[in-house]
């Protein structure tokens, strides 16, 4: 698909609830970020844990640089305006041949953020295509009320509660968000999306970064945190997440632990 430009991008995003492919990083930058994650895995002798996949920009300076990079933020600013917080990031990694999948869902369901002005930049750190289980979206499904969800806690579901839409999805109109390393998509917090298992012979690594304008609030709990990445924050609704200076330093691990536990309380609330 050909990328739209300027105002067209905004219009296309508002009408469809997603936009892709957009340039975010060079291939070298994407590979460099992947190498940092994989060097950590080699050092610890196991895959990066579920905990460290959440908010990894608090642990690795290379990811902290990506969430602030101008190409990403220019595209995000075009959608949500100039005062921008990074509320969350997640490494969505599917190993070749494993059964991990993401059920059809809408992000807004459990995040506690209001108003629903949240945009995710999903940045490919490895090829993300039909074979590797790229993200899929249902165009324009962000318009209207949220659809009820059920929690399945299915073991291969990559979502924290295995949440999925309580109604069946007509997949005939689903769009495959195919991206090369360094490209990104943007998606709205209410769009219906999901993804299938990875049947390729490489890992599928996506770095999903959730951005909000500074006037968005956490209404489900006290003490949520985020990081100002552009503009000014006159509202101060969120505690400030500290940027890491070294990969997995003790200080970064401690700050990450606190932010992670706090966030899980919100995500797993009844
Ligand atoms: O990485 C995937 O396949 C799904 C990502 C996702 O659900 C999200 O970024 O909200």
The domain limits of the chain are 18-267
- d(C-alpha 125, C-alpha 56), whole Å: 14
* CATH of region 18-267, choose from 2.102.10.10, 2.60.40.10, 2.60.120.620, 1.20.1250.20: 2.60.120.620
pLDDT digits (tens, 9 = 90+) for 164-198: 999 999 999 999 999 999 999 999 999 999 999 99
Predicted local confidence at residue 5, as pLDDT? 60
Q: Which ranges of the chain have pLDDT less than 50? A: 1-3
Name which residue sits closest to atom 7 of ligand 1, judged by CA: 194
Say yes or no: CB of residue 122 within 6 Å of ligand 1: yes
Task: Please provide the average confidence, as pLDDT, over all residues in the chain.
Answer: 95
92 CA distance to ligand 1 middle (Å): 7
Coil/strand/helix, residue 2? coil
Q: Token match 């012979």: residue?
A: 201
Coil/strand/helix, residue 20? strand
pLDDT digits (tens, 9 = 90+) for 48-76: 999 999 999 999 999 999 999 999 999 99
Which of 133, 54, 138 has the alpha carbon at shortest distance from 100? 133
pTM: predicted TM-score of the whole model, two decimal places:
0.96
Say yes or no: CB of residue 195 within 6 Å of ligand 1: yes
- d(C-alpha 4, C-alpha 94), whole Å: 29
């Amino acid at each position: 698909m050909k990328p739209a430009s300027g105002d067209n991008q905004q219009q296309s995003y508002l009408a469809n609830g997603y936009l892709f492919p957009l340039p975010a990083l060079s291939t070298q930058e994407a590979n460099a970020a992947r190498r940092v994650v994989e060097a950590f895995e080699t050092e610890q002798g196991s895959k990066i844990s579920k905990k460290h996949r959440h908010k990894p920009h608090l642990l690795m300076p290379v990811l902290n640089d990506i969430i602030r990079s101008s190409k990403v933020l220019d595209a995000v600013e075009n959608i949500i305006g100039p005062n921008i917080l990074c509320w969350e990031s997640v490494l969505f990694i599917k190993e070749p041949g494993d059964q991990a999948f993401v059920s059809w869902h809408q992000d807004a369901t459990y995040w506690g953020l209001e108003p629903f002005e949240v945009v995710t930049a999903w940045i490919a750190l490895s090829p993300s295509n039909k074979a590797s289980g790229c993200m899929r979206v249902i165009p324009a499904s962000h318009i209207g009320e949220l659809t009820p969800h059920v929690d399945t806690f299915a073991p291969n579901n990559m979502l924290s509660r295995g949440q999925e839409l309580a109604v069946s999805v007509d997949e005939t109109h689903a769009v495959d968000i195919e991206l090369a390393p360094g490209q990104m998509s943007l998606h709205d917090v209410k769009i219906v999306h999901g993804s299938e298992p990875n049947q390729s012979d490489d890992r599928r690594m996506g770095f999903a970064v959730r951005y909000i304008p500074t006037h968005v609030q956490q209404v489900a709990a006290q003490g949520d945190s985020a990081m100002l990445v552009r503009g000014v924050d006159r509202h101060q609704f969120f505690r400030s997440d500290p940027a890491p200076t070294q990969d997995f330093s003790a200080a970064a691990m401690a700050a990450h632990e606190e932010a992670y536990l706090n966030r899980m309380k919100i995500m797993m609330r009844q």
